[in-house]
Amino acid sequence: MAETSLPWANNGIGDAQAYDDDEWSDWQRKLFTHDRTLQGVIPGYESELEVTNPAGNTIRVAAGGAVVDGKIYDNSTDADGAVTTPGAGSNYYRVVLAKDWAAQTVRAGIVGPDVASPPAVTQTDGTLWEISLATVQITSGGVVTVTDTRRYVGMTMAAGVVAWQSSAENVWTGTPGTVDWTPPAAKIQGGLIRWTGASSPTGSKAVTFPKPFMRAPAVFIQPQTSGLSTATFGITATAFNLSFASIDGASFTTADFQWWAIGE
């Protein structure tokens, strides 16, 4: 078995050696990313490199940080670019973070346009390695749609979610199934909510997640008020709806619930 350890002073003792940037990048990639083709954004730092369309044809990457194939990237302010309105149909773009070996930089950029679909990322070792932050569609009428594609860094255990079983990979809710997959990263959010209304044995309430997910997560509800059965519906990446019914037909004017959501 080949064993090694680092870092040590470069004094020729034990595992000590001179380390180059590729070695540091390799270890940072191993520490922080389970899937270097997708993951990169550092959660909870600044505005998490969120991509928006503040006005017109402007595409904005907010402040944040990332680990792009082992290279640490930091952006302390908004980075703006622009997309072009087509004469007909739609133009598609992809907003990326690009690690450039020749330039020795990591920078945000917009790839495209493509008239059929968002361009694929380029991932070539030793030359250019891109990870996706968002896709953008702009129609001939100037309507801009930004779709979040960020994946967050995290240990291999992906915030404690080591496996998920559903109908297909990346499906947290919806059609049941027996496909086992390992989430590359996961968020767990939760909260306590209260429904209030006219005296009734049934009710519903809309809940917005404190932070949006990449796609619809799995949502779990626990009534804090006894005598209720619950269900969820209308789950999206940003919100869900809760409904409840009294088990014995009694009416309520207030009802408390605890919720948990797990997803990317």
pLDDT digits 0-9 by tens, 85-126: 999 999 999 999 999 999 999 999 999 999 999 999 999 999
* pLDDT higher than threshold 60 for residue 84: yes
Across the strands, what pairs with 108? 97
Mean pLDDT of the residues in the chain: 89
206 occurs within a structural domain: yes
* CA gap 155, 71 in Å, rounded: 16
* CA gap 150, 148 in Å, rounded: 6
156 occurs within a structural domain: no
Task: Give the residue from 101, 125, 148 where a domain finishes.
Answer: 148
Task: Give the residue from 121, 148, 175 where a domain finishes.
Answer: 148
| pLDDT (0 to 100) of residue 1 | 46
Q: Is the pTM of this model over 0.75?
A: no
Q: How far is CA 24 from CA 43, 61, 106, in A?
A: 21, 27, 15
Task: Give the residue from 94, 125, 148 where a domain finishes.
Answer: 148
- Please spell the DSSP secondary structure of 44-87, one letter per residue: TSTTTT-EE--STTEEEE-SEEEEETTEEEEE-S-EEEE----S
pLDDT digits 0-9 by tens, 219-240: 999 999 999 999 999 999 999 9
250 occurs within a structural domain: yes
8 occurs within a structural domain: no
Q: Which domain holds residue 191?
A: 187-263
* pLDDT higher than threshold 80 for residue 2: no
- Where residue 84 sits, what CATH number does that domain have? 2.60.520
Better-scored residue on pLDDT, 101 or 44: 101
Question: Which pairing describes strands 79-82 and 71-75: parallel, antiparallel, or unpaired?
Answer: unpaired
- Where residue 194 sits, what CATH number does that domain have? 2.60.40.2080
> pLDDT exceeding 90 applies to what percent of the chain?
64
| pLDDT (0 to 100) of residue 202 | 94
And the tokens for 107? 């920078």
Both 32 and 144 in one domain: the answer is yes
Tell me the mean pLDDT in the region 18-32. Answer: 82
* pLDDT higher than threshold 90 for residue 215: no
Both 43 and 137 in one domain: the answer is yes
* pLDDT higher than threshold 90 for residue 32: no
* CA gap 148, 133 in Å, rounded: 6
Query: Which backbone phi and psi does 147 adopt, to 5 degrees?
Result: -115, 120
Both 31 and 131 in one domain: the answer is yes
Decide: helix, strand or coil at residue 248. Answer: coil
Decide: helix, strand or coil at residue 256. Answer: strand
- Please spell the DSSP secondary structure of 185-229, one letter per residue: S-EEEEEEEEEEEEEESEEEEEEE-SS--SS--EEEEEESSSSEE
pLDDT digits 0-9 by tens, 148-197: 999 888 644 444 577 888 888 878 887 889 988 877 667 889 999 999 99
30 occurs within a structural domain: yes
Both 60 and 142 in one domain: the answer is yes
